[in-house]
Amino acid sequence: MESYYNCLSVKADNFLWLLQDKALEITGEAIEEIEQGFIVRTEADIKPIKLQLIAYAKELETIMSDSINLEFSEETLKNQDWIASYRKSITPIECGKYYIHPSWFEGKKNKINVIIDPALAFGSGHHESTFGCLEALENLEHTFQEIELRNKEKENSKNWSNALKDKTILDVGCGSGILSICAKKNGAKVWACDTDELAIEATKDNMVKNNVLLDKVFLGSLHTIPTQKGKFDIILANILTDVIVALPLESYVKQKGYLILSGILEQYIPKVLNKFKNFKIVSQKINNEWATLVLQNKG
């Protein structure tokens, strides 16, 4: 270990979570979240990191048609156990029945425990879009349970592990695998994909940590599974608005099936709804300007 390390503080007024993901991809280092920004600590030269973040911010501005103001500060400090300090800064979160926690925290009784280490990949559950998807998924589970109760005329067993039994789910842009793993722990058949190799690796690592086996994890997107059109009960897509609009998600969901869409800034809701104008709006929730939409295929 070197005696000193470099510290790059980054602040942004827009698309902070995407910039954090990019920093993780570039460095592979632990990143500490701070108010309106994050800190990268590394023994490597931070100049290339800074230049890549600037270039990525410009790409995002073009894609999202919105501006990003970046602020950087740099310093060289004596090395210390900053990984331990970072771990202390990460806290578990609860979202309904789910308890999302890093591996250095104990699980919680009477909750579905999901281990995700935020330093290793994107999608720890802390971001509003991920949280919104988890809420939407749980609400759909309740819907399926109510339908089953009506059909079978029996009392609700409240068996969380089977809430999504016999349902097929596709997680597009799976990131850390958090949504896929939550769905699998509820009995679903789950496919997960991402165009980022690091995300696929992270999802597979988190499968092991959570002692679950997803049915299929693959590098790529919808174009790699043309035979699965119309096969999924639920499609999860927590990705950029322009990607949601560009992908033929409607072709892969069953009749009467559902789309859970997030990663959508409030101002882009009309753009998404216009794409899926033949779908029924089941719910629309906004959390800190991030929208989560649940849409149903009318068939």
Binding residue positions for S-adenosyl-L-methionine:
130, 173, 194, 238
Residue ranges of the binding site:
130, 173, 194, 238
Q: Which two tokens stand for residue 184?
A: 């699998």
Q: How far apart are CA 196 and CA 201, in angstroms?
A: 9
Do 241 and 277 contact (CB within 8 A), yes or no?
no
Phi, psi of 259 (to 5 degrees): -110, 130
Contact 93, 131 (CB under 8 A): yes
Phi, psi of 4 (to 5 degrees): -130, 160
Whether the Cβ atoms of residue 144 and residue 167 lie closer than 8 Å to each other: yes
CA distances from 214 to 53, 154, 184, 221, 269 (A): 33, 30, 7, 16, 31
